[in-house]
Amino acid sequence: MAIDPTDPRSPSRQIADELREEITSGRLAPGDALPSEKMLVGRFGTAPATARQAVRLLKEEGLVVAERGKGVYVKRQPPTIRLGSHRFSRQTRAEGKSAFEAEIERQGLEWGQEVLELAEVPAPEWVAEWLGVDAGATVFVRRRRNLVGDTPTQLADSYYRLDTVEDTAIRTPDTGPGGSYARLEEKGLTLERFREEIRIRMPTPTEVQGLRLTPGTPVAELRRIAFGASGPLEVLESVVSGDSHVFCYEFAAPE
């Protein structure tokens, strides 16, 4: 294909669109090397700078990655992780599994978790509002990073009022069978409902590092409240890679 001078798209965009079609159709498979700059110049009859810009566009879209000293390759897509509402069922906790553990194992994947911090901290403004405490009030936070295989897939911070987690394993690295929700219900704090908000955005530098994101990969930020009979029990902020997660919900039609 030669560059079409009558096409309203820029030459670099024309090249990028052609290569993207080869990737999405499977002609260029995950792990395949992208044509070199010299090959692109010869194939499209364009300047080296234009070929480099086309590849840069594909990098920004998260379709290709550069390996130092080797070249540019079609990105290997991570497993798609479906997060469904059934992961919060009491049956899951009765089986001794946390919500994340149950969802990952249901898909036949291996999982792991790194506890990054267990601490009493001043509540961020939005956390204070959701937990029903004063802004800046001391709350307990569990920060962790969840993995599928050896790939980081989720950064999760859970916030609790101090009296909610007093004398529970939630304050320890290992919350035990069934996870934090099982420990809350052992304390007589029955989970009754959840509310979630999901926002798609670009990641912060800390999230790029923590999730090992390639350039151009967005994230999904999920904030959730777990309610008991007396009010909020937990506020969670979870950040996941946008190219490997599907959120799946099933619910009855409203009356």
Class of domain 11-74: mainly alpha
DSSP 8-state assignment for residue 10 = -
Dump pLDDT digits (tens) for 242-253.
Answer: 888 888 887 778
Residue 35 near residue 43, CB atoms below 8 Å: yes
Q: Is the pLDDT of residue 113 over 80?
A: yes
* pLDDT exceeds cutoff 70 at 95: no
Helices (H), the chain: 11-25, 37-44, 48-60, 90-94, 99-106, 125-131, 162-165, 179-186, 205-211
> What number is the average pLDDT over the span 204-218?
91
Sorted by where each begins, the domain ranges of the chain are 11-74, 81-248
Burial profile 225-245: b = 16 or more Cβ within 10 angstroms, e = fewer:
bbebeeebbbbbbbbbbbbbb
CATH label, 81-248, candidates 3.40.1410.10, 1.20.1250.20, 3.40.50.800, 3.40.190.10: 3.40.1410.10
